[in-house]
Chain A
């Protein structure tokens, strides 16, 4: 069955370091992949979209990679700050559909 895996354990890193979060998927051929940020008690907020034919996408301190061979996306936050502490969700979709399948998210804590 289709499965999306994100590290369920929290990731703790020191302020200023680069945080790297992983999204792996199986039995799925997504055309689009999105990353969202979710703070406690709030809905997810869209961060980045990457298409299957794009290897990398950047936005300010954020970078996303998409490797369809490895069936993996990596989400990087450079020069991390305590304000980056949140849960980060990846979501996958196939072409021509409005449905996204979401991962369970990885909680990131940036320590001052």
Chain B
């Protein structure tokens, strides 16, 4: 089947606007991650969803960031009142993880490149 897909692939927005980034995980994968990758930086963990459990939001950098996952499948990352420092590539990954399993492979989408002018 298809891999993880993300949309849009590129998003240019003006400072202060809200943006929504979408992630379609691999069918049947219960775990979903959002990361941010800035130039010259490692992947920064943002949020983790596992089945119907409460998400781990500990990586969200500010309350302008939020995410939801509907029906245990598609996820949307929303950034309100965007700032220039939000410019980065936002990556989504999914895995079959049944729980706390560090050995599970994460399958990444191609990312959304966000540019805030």
Contact = CB atoms under 8 A, between A and B. Distances in A.
Interface in B21-59: 31, 35, 40-43, 45, 48, 50, 56
Contacts of B110: 41-43
B59 to A, nearest CB: 8
A102 B43 contact: yes
B43 A89 contact: yes
Contacts of A4: 42
B105 to A, nearest CB: 5
Interface string B74-117: 00000000000000000101000101111111111111000000
Interface residues of A, number: 27
B60 interface: no
A89 B108 CA distance: 13
Interface stretch (A14-22, A66-74, A77-85, A93-101): A93-101
Nearest to A47: B105
Per DSSP, chain A at the interface is loop
Contact of B108 (A44, A49, A94, A99): A44
A93 B33 CA distance: 15
Interface in A15-64: 31-32, 41-46, 49, 51
Please list the 7 inter-chain residue pairs (A to B) with the smallest Cβ-Cβ separation, ordered nearest first. A43-B108, A102-B43, A93-B102, A102-B42, A32-B102, A104-B42, A46-B105
Given A97-B102, A99-B48, 9 more contacts: A4-B42, A42-B111, A43-B4, A43-B108, A45-B108, A46-B105, A98-B100, A101-B42, A104-B42
27 contacts: A4-B42, A32-B102, A32-B103, A41-B110, A43-B93, A43-B110, A44-B43, A44-B91, A44-B106, A44-B108, A45-B108, A46-B105, A49-B105, A89-B42, A91-B43, A93-B102, A97-B100, A97-B102, A98-B56, A99-B45, A99-B48, A99-B56, A100-B45, A100-B106, A101-B42, A101-B45, A102-B43
